[in-house]
């Protein structure tokens, strides 16, 4: 019985270690210092919803350099893409958090997190 508990404990620790290391090894994006990375988020203009970057104060290895709106068609209120550009400023990992909401509402209907490694 003690052997089963010990093995369960060891495998739990291995699983926990693999999970925490895996987050750092598999970023969504990689960028070098002084290079830029673009994150694209789809939206529909006519709904009033837009993407907002909400954790600017927590990001230390990236600088925001540009935000563009690109419309996918010529219909008023149609779909589009918001393109956020970030420049690597120092080596490390940052998580960028975006929420999809209307500016006059407090509640987001979607949230996206992106881990970026600056190398």
Domain chopping of the chain, boundaries:
28-118
pLDDT band at 96 (very low <50, low <70, confident <90, very high): very high
Separation CA 15–CA 117 (nearest Å): 23
Separation CA 92–CA 66 (nearest Å): 21
pLDDT digits (tens, 9 = 90+) for 7-56: 444 444 444 444 444 445 589 999 999 999 999 999 887 889 999 999 99
Q: What is the CATH number of domain 28-118?
A: 2.60.40.2020
Helix (H, G, I), strand (E, B) or coil at 102: coil
The pLDDT of residue 9 = 46
Separation CA 98–CA 100 (nearest Å): 7
Q: What is the pTM for the complete model shown?
A: 0.74
pLDDT band at 78 (very low <50, low <70, confident <90, very high): confident
Q: Does position 67 have pLDDT exceeding 80, yes or no?
A: yes
Place of tokens 């010529």: 74
């Amino acid at each position: 019985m003690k052997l089963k508990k010990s093995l369960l404990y060891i495998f739990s620790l291995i699983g926990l270690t693999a999970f925490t290391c895996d987050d750092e090894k598999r970023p969504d994006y990689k960028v070098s210092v002084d290079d830029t990375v673009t994150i694209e988020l789809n939206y529909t203009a006519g709904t009033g919803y837009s993407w907002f970057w909400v954790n600017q104060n927590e990001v230390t290895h990236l600088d925001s350099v540009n935000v563009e709106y690109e419309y996918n068609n010529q219909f008023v209120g149609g779909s589009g893409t918001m393109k956020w550009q970030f420049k690597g400023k120092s080596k490390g990992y940052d998580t960028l958090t975006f929420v999809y909401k209307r500016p006059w509402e407090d509640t987001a209907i979607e949230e996206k997190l992106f881990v970026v490694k600056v190398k």
